[in-house]
């Protein structure tokens, strides 16, 4: 499967680590299927631009859950939450009602309290939207580094950048 998140036409690296509820987690990359419903479209029948933001959010949430960073558990036990601080989206093509799309989430780096992701919404081999998203870890209203015990479980975190071509 090509890697729409990487530059060039390299294949997606790493074998499937596990599958949970229709979500394939591949080490630092994850793939989530979503169906386009009527509520996701605008008056023209194309996917409304803001729907992509919801698709990206679902992808990141499932990636974080698989990495042991569950929102509710961290909020209840450590008063820790996450917030998007920066989002850059590029739209490439339109999805339409009934499309089966794949949300690809790739963890790129940790920089202090920030988790940085690259994401894409694809239909087959066609990119519909790509994004770079920075998410800050918060305790109360203050930025903090993510929990060390959780970070240790992430593959290659000590290298800061995990999204590289695997030729």
CATH number at residue 67: 3.10.129.10
For residue 87, being part of any structural domain is answered with yes
- pLDDT value at 26 more than 80: no
For residue 37, being part of any structural domain is answered with yes
Instruction: Give the Cα separation of 114 and 61 in Å (integer).
Output: 15
Question: Domain range spanning residue 106?
Answer: 18-157
For residue 95, being part of any structural domain is answered with yes
**What's the chain's average pLDDT?**
79
Q: Which of 42, 79, 99, 106 is catalytic?
A: 42
For residue 45, being part of any structural domain is answered with yes
99 is catalytic: no
pLDDT at 153: 63
For residue 113, being part of any structural domain is answered with yes
For residue 2, being part of any structural domain is answered with no
Q: How far apart are the first and last CA of the chain?
A: 13
- pLDDT value at 161 more than 50: no
pLDDT at 159: 28
Q: What's the domain count of the chain?
A: 1
Instruction: Give the Cα separation of 35 and 22 in Å (integer).
Output: 12
- pLDDT value at 144 more than 60: yes
pLDDT at 28: 74
């Amino acid at each position: 499967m090509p890697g729409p998140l990487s530059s060039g036409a390299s294949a997606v690296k790493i074998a499937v680590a596990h599958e949970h509820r229709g979500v394939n987690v591949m080490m630092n990359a994850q793939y989530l299927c979503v169906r386009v419903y009527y509520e996701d479209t605008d008056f023209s029948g194309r996917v409304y631009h803001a729907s992509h933001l919801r698709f990206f959010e679902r992808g990141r949430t499932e990636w974080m859950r698989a990495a042991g960073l569950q929102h509710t558990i961290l909020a209840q036990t450590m008063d820790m939450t996450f917030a998007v601080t920066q989002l850059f989206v590029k739209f490439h093509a339109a999805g339409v009602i009934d499309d089966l799309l794949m949300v690809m989430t790739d963890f790129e780096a940790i920089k202090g309290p920030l988790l940085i992701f690259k994401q894409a919404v694809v239909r087959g081999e066609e990119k519909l939207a790509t994004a770079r998203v920075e998410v800050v870890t918060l305790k109360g209203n203050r930025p903090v580094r993510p929990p060390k015990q959780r970070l240790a479980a992430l593959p290659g975190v000590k290298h800061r950048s995990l999204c590289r071509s695997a030729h």
